[in-house]
Structure 1
């Protein structure tokens, strides 16, 4: 059955009996794929659990629902209960989610152990990919990125699951040779963009390491040509080749393989700017001009743990002398219209058709306030002041013990203390913006 057919069948069962625990579990499984509003579905999971507290499906689903809304401690305790109920078929999945729970709580060593246990039970490469992320979150950059090589195996698995749909790592021409640490003197290397756009912006800084290792020719390829153009503007390469090939090269290397293959450790990372762009000519409407981004790509599985509604920014809007601009891409930009704030928040999306355009717009602003998106990486790469708003269960690269980032000197990390409670973060941003406008007034006096 299709997802729609399943939804209708389970709904019909619940119309007849809203206390049908099996139907509740099945309905929750269908609708919980949504990337937001997890709190709306939590009561269904709880109801099924209370009806069948010793059945593995309701226990596991309720654990997952609690995790989704940020109640990580409670979710972990129920995962522990699910472990005791799990049979051989369920055990790898529950064990994997124990790792997910510990990762969300910031206990990354425990997370890595549980991911390994899950893999030992069921050799699913996704479990090792998650383990690699938990190693990266411990600050073990070289070891974590080496372990993250498993992503290529994960990509093959996902391509199979998606009826042949190929993601970026797998779009390379047949017969290419991946660099495994061989001598590069006089060689030609193609560096390919993999994972997200933000990842490529973050890791392209290591491309010059290839020159130090004797590479004669460096070309770029990837699924977003205009992002390659921006990188080529700022990193010395010889050219850009189409992702479809053919490649006339000795080796290819993924952008996230560069650091560890080149021997980079975390304490080698420099946070100074490495991109430049001419500022775009836009009206400067205030003494302090602020760019805003509030949502990432909804296709990202953990987007629920990084995006926020535009309305959360509204407490900033009473600051005299501060003008706001939307750098948000796609349908979420309509949230400004829905609140009737068109004009007050100037929409820059029509002027950002390429990554070069976006870089120029950021350069024309004074500061950017964004959730964890590629715009955060681009602002940091440009050396533009940027406040990066993150959830308590944020990505590995934003250190939970510091407001500073080793990756970008110009960035400040502002973290939630409670899932979906953005108000304290916005209050902190407001104080920062007040300080910035005050400094400008003093300088102008």
Structure 2
């Protein structure tokens, strides 16, 4: 019996080692074995939830955290973790009671206070969110989640000076900096030196921050960009003086920098963001090919994207369904073109009168060529809206109630893209109807003006 207990302890220790090293799939397998032998272990269920969360298995993670609480109702971190899963799968309103209970059970845990701040931000209670982040940082001044959360909030409120500094803590929340990317550029003078920039987050972030590369070239920096494959052809056609690597290639460099850090080290402020009018261009060959594919139309041509990457941690809030956009699609005098990719494209099987190009788009150079020939792009907050703005094409972006920091807390315009109009979700838990109805009125006026 003692031997069996020691063996189980060894398995648990191995599972935790996997989890701490970021090997979430092996950790899940090992922890399921532990739970099978010790089904009443709240700690094992909690750690299983962490392993599942690390693989973006949100609902399964929520169930694991619920199981932990069933055996230990006062497990504060399991309660807070459940709250964060509900935030990503259900709503901030559903998450708040759980994180409040967690904070009551352990008021001195900065991780729980940071979770509270994050949920309050999603509820639109920004002053309360800042109080929670500040309380966490009073307990632990460099707590990663609290610093990142405070930075996100500061950026959302337009305070780029302090927000961008805190935003650097995003790297520590994931896998951290790849050891191959060193030394890092921290804003010092690098004229005449080689700078490697690389993608770190989603495609939309890459598109947004490419604007900072030409000014660096103009300052005498030798810039090389290592980008995801969907961006390389477009970047190569657009960014004169920047060497764009083929996917998988590496290059020698003096210093390097992830794209999302460029606003900080280039000293950007919201009132002085460069290239608002656009900074990307379509490769000529792609333009000609897609012009032949699309042909002419007497109607207003509108390109449409209604859902983002389902793996995104905020996709539950930012993506829509095609049915949400029905008031737009009912307007006559419009040729609709779908640029939607991924699982959401299946919505088109129930919708007639929309030209589906999603499956024909090989990369963002193709998408850009279609956008360049459309009169308007309508998109959720995902990479295509950044692409349209970076091309200087008219784009209407649907913004969730809890917006990403780059869109600010209010208003219909953005400091990042001069051609973009924002349609904001009006209230928490109210769906998209008011924002879509506003866009439908504006679209009807646009069609009428064209007639």
TM-score (norm 2): 0.77
Cα distance, 1:421 vs structure 2: 0.6
Alignment-derived partner of residue 209 in structure 2: 203
How far apart, CA to CA, are the structure 2 residues paired with 1:42 and 1:243?
Answer: 36
Cα distance, 1:203 vs structure 2: 1.1
Alignment-derived partner of residue 317 in structure 2: 305
Cα distance, 1:72 vs structure 2: 4.0
Checking the alignment, whether the CA contact within 8 Å between 1:136 and 1:144 is kept in structure 2 is yes
Aligned ranges 1:106-185 → 2 under 5 Å: 106-108=124-126, 110-118=128-136, 120-121=139-140, 124-156=143-175, 170=178, 172=180, 176-185=182-191
Aligned residues: 414
Checking the alignment, whether the CA contact within 8 Å between 2:388 and 2:394 is kept in structure 1 is yes
Aligned ranges 1:396-411 → 2 under 5 Å: 396-411=405-420
Checking the alignment, whether the CA contact within 8 Å between 1:230 and 1:355 is kept in structure 2 is yes
How far apart, CA to CA, are the structure 1 residues paired with 2:33 and 2:373?
Answer: 51
Q: 1:197 to 1:66 in 2, by over 3 A?
A: closer
Q: 1:124 to 1:43 in 2, by over 3 A?
A: closer
Cα distance, 1:367 vs structure 2: 0.9
Cα distance, 1:245 vs structure 2: 5.5
How far apart, CA to CA, are the structure 2 residues paired with 1:378 and 1:154?
Answer: 27
Alignment-derived partner of residue 356 in structure 1: 365
Cα distance, 1:296 vs structure 2: 0.9
Structure 1 residues 294-342: Cα deviation after superposition (integer angstroms, max 9, x where no partner): 11111111111111222212232222211211101122211211x2x2x
Instruction: Give the match's secondary structure for 2:417.
Output: coil
How far apart, CA to CA, are the structure 2 residues paired with 1:437 and 1:233?
Answer: 33
Instruction: Give the match's secondary structure for 1:346.
Output: strand
How far apart, CA to CA, are the structure 2 residues paired with 1:308 and 1:44?
Answer: 28
Structure 1 residues 129-188: Cα deviation after superposition (integer angstroms, max 9, x where no partner): 23321221121224322322223333435xxxxxxxxxxx52846xx4222233222222
Q: Among residues 396, 399, 408, which one is paired with 1:390 in the alignment?
A: 399
Instruction: Give the match's secondary structure for 1:170.
Output: coil
Q: 1:113 to 1:378 in 2, by over 3 A?
A: same
Q: 1:104 to 1:285 in 2, by over 3 A?
A: same
Instruction: Give the match's secondary structure for 1:207.
Output: helix
CA RMSD, 1 decimal = 4.0
Alignment-derived partner of residue 160 in structure 1: none
The answer to whether residue 115 in structure 2 is matched with residue 97 in structure 1 is yes
Structure 2: unaligned runs, 5 residues or longer: 1-14, 16-26
Structure 1: unaligned runs, 5 residues or longer: 15-19, 158-168
Alignment-derived partner of residue 330 in structure 2: 318
How far apart, CA to CA, are the structure 1 residues paired with 2:200 and 2:245?
Answer: 15
Checking the alignment, whether the CA contact within 8 Å between 1:370 and 1:386 is kept in structure 2 is yes
The answer to whether residue 445 in structure 2 is matched with residue 426 in structure 1 is no
Q: 1:284 to 1:299 in 2, by over 3 A?
A: same
Checking the alignment, whether the CA contact within 8 Å between 1:35 and 1:304 is kept in structure 2 is no
How far apart, CA to CA, are the structure 2 residues paired with 1:197 and 1:425?
Answer: 25
Q: Among residues 232, 238, 263, which one is paired with 1:234 in the alignment?
A: 238
Instruction: Give the match's secondary structure for 2:421.
Output: strand
Checking the alignment, whether the CA contact within 8 Å between 2:77 and 2:112 is kept in structure 1 is no
Instruction: Give the match's secondary structure for 1:156.
Output: coil
Instruction: Give the match's secondary structure for 1:290.
Output: strand
Alignment-derived partner of residue 82 in structure 1: 102
Instruction: Give the match's secondary structure for 1:139.
Output: coil
Q: 1:250 to 1:82 in 2, by over 3 A?
A: closer
TM-score (norm 1): 0.78
Q: 1:29 to 1:185 in 2, by over 3 A?
A: closer
> Which stretch shifts more, 282-291 or 73-82?
73-82
